[in-house]
């Protein structure tokens, strides 16, 4: 299993985000440290970036960096370039860890990577947890997923799914957690695959895989929820958690 961390310097909402200091370390280093805790060797963790400032920072803390093109439309395209640059075999498993998740649980990374290895019918794997807050269920910012009895995704949506027709029925809706494990061949296929109409409507990249008939395995995760850094104000929230952990 390999871990890939895409890291872009340019960001409309938060330029230079990967290099933002969090409790004395650049955010990309904190993500890298969580990722290396999920594998036996740090040699299996790669940071893919298009900016030499990020590459220099990665080199300074001892990580591996691969320079990628600046014109990718999404993270999976950057990963597809990475697997080709590394010369990975089609069957190799690559876990995509977002570069703005400095608190990501190493157990979650292992969960999705091992799930893909253990489910040969799956082209990729991801994770979900149970939604307990009704506000989350109706929020378009929270992506929901419905699965079949074997743990494969039926559909992902920003809408509240499944729809509960009878008020007396009980349901435990699932919140999609944005982490994926891919086979290298899956990344190569998705790079050239036609975008799905549902993908364009919902603005959810994973719907392209479903539309083209690929199976997505969904593992249930019951660990701590991570705090992603989307805007500068999120930094202090992460630092507060690190302070509680004595870091």
The confidence score (pLDDT) of residue 166 equals 87
The confidence score (pLDDT) of residue 104 equals 96
DSSP conformational letter for 44: G
**Mean pLDDT, range 209-222, rounded to an integer:** 97
The position carrying tokens 């994973």 is: 206
Task: Please report, for residues 50, 157, 237, the alpha-carbon distance to residue 55 in angstroms, rounded to integers and kept in the order given.
Answer: 8, 35, 26
**Mean pLDDT, range 186-210, rounded to an integer:** 95
**Mean pLDDT, range 231-246, rounded to an integer:** 88
Task: Please report, for residues 137, 138, 154, 164, 178, the alpha-carbon distance to residue 132 in angstroms, rounded to integers and kept in the order given.
Answer: 8, 12, 21, 15, 18
Does residue 206 register a pLDDT over 80? yes
CB 198 within 8 A of CB 185: no
Does residue 122 register a pLDDT over 90? yes
Task: Please report, for residues 73, 102, 120, 221, the alpha-carbon distance to residue 105 in angstroms, rounded to integers and kept in the order given.
Answer: 27, 9, 25, 10
Other Cβ atoms less than 10 A from the Cβ of 227: the count is 17
Whole-angstrom Cα distance, residue 8 to residue 19? 10
DSSP conformational letter for 72: -
Does residue 186 register a pLDDT over 90? yes
**What percent of the chain stands above pLDDT 70?**
100
User: Coil, strand or helix: which one is 133?
Assistant: coil
**Mean pLDDT, range 204-211, rounded to an integer:** 96
- pLDDT by residue (tens digit) across 59-83? 999 999 999 888 777 777 888 999 9
Per-residue confidence at 9, pLDDT binned at 50, 70, 90? confident
**Domains of the chain, earliest start first:** 2-224 (3.90.550.10)
């Amino acid at each position: 299993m390999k871990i890939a961390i895409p890291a872009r310097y340019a960001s409309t909402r938060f330029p230079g985000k990967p290099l933002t200091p969090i409790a004395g370390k650049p955010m990309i280093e904190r993500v890298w440290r969580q990722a290396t805790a999920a594998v036996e060797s740090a040699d299996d963790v790669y940071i893919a970036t298009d900016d030499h400032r990020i590459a220099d920072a990665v080199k300074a803390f001892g990580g591996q960096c691969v320079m990628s093109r600046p014109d990718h439309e999404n993270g999976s395209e950057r990963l597809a370039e990475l697997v080709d640059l590394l010369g990975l075999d089609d069957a190799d498993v690559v876990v995509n860890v977002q570069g703005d998740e400095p608190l990501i649980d190493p157990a979650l990374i292992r969960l999705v990577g091992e799930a893909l290895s253990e489910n040969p019918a799956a082209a990729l794997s991801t994770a979900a947890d149970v939604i307990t807050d009704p506000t989350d269920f109706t929020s378009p910012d929270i992506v929901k997923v419905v699965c079949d009895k074997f743990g494969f995704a039926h559909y992902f949506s920003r809408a509240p799914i499944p729809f509960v027709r009878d008020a007396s029925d009980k349901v435990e809706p699932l919140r999609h957690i944005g982490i994926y494990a891919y086979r290298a061949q899956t990344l190569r296929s998705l790079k050239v695959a036609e975008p799905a109409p549902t993908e364009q409507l919902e603005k959810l990249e994973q719907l392209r895989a479903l539309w083209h008939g690929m199976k997505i395995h969904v593992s249930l995760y019951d660990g701590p929820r991570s705090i992603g850094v989307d805007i500068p104000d999120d930094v202090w929230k992460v630092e507060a958690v690190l302070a509680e952990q004595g870091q």
